[in-house]
Amino acid sequence: MARPTQHRLPPTPPPAIKETLRSRLSGRELQAVEAVFALRIASQQAENAITEWLAETAGSPARHEILMLLWAADGRAVPHKDIVAAMAVTRATVSELMNALERQGLVSSSVDRDDRRQLLATLTSRGQAIMSKAMEVNKARLRQAFASLSSPELEALTALLQRVREGFTATVRGPDKPNQWKPATLRRAEKRSAFRHSC
């Protein structure tokens, strides 16, 4: 399986740009620029790694999201419409993903006896085995990724990132928008991250 394309970002602004910034920005503003570069690099590296982890399970992160939904259902059948709602995608997209997973022998779909217009999805025994293995592998990867941070440091990092996210969200919030407004891309990213963080 081909690995996802890795996106590279420079660790700092190019020298010429950095010199110009030094002459025009305050010390705190320069710190903010450096923090933005560090944040982008760390975010991209984490995204690349997690995308690769998820793709190894079922061929793509999107298919993995469906497997996670069914795995979390603990044996209960999940209506296709619930998968559509959880992933915030179209019914056609879920149908295409489900067909691919069915061809791999990881999931099965059946007609709901109480509502024949509705399809119910479950993991197959092969799907269960693959998800159990993926959970163990990804738990080990998470431990390795955060091995240099203590539990208090992880809590502090999470709190700081939340504040950073709120700060950036405020910069794109219009004056007539309520505080809870979020860009559509951020809402979709949060839905995806809910599944990824379960690994």
Domain ranges of the chain: 60-169+182-196
Please report which residue ranges of the chain form alpha helices under DSSP H. Answer: 15-24, 27-58, 61-72, 80-87, 91-103, 125-145, 151-171, 184-196
- Give pLDDT, residue 176: 54
Of 1.10.10.10, 3.90.180.10, 1.10.10.2120, 3.40.30.10, the CATH number of 60-169+182-196 is: 1.10.10.10
Residues with pLDDT less than 50, the chain:
1, 4, 179-183, 190, 193-199
The answer to whether 78 touches 107, Cβ cutoff 8 Å, is no
- Give pLDDT, residue 197: 40
Rg (CA), the chain: 21
Give the pTM.
0.66
- Give pLDDT, residue 13: 74
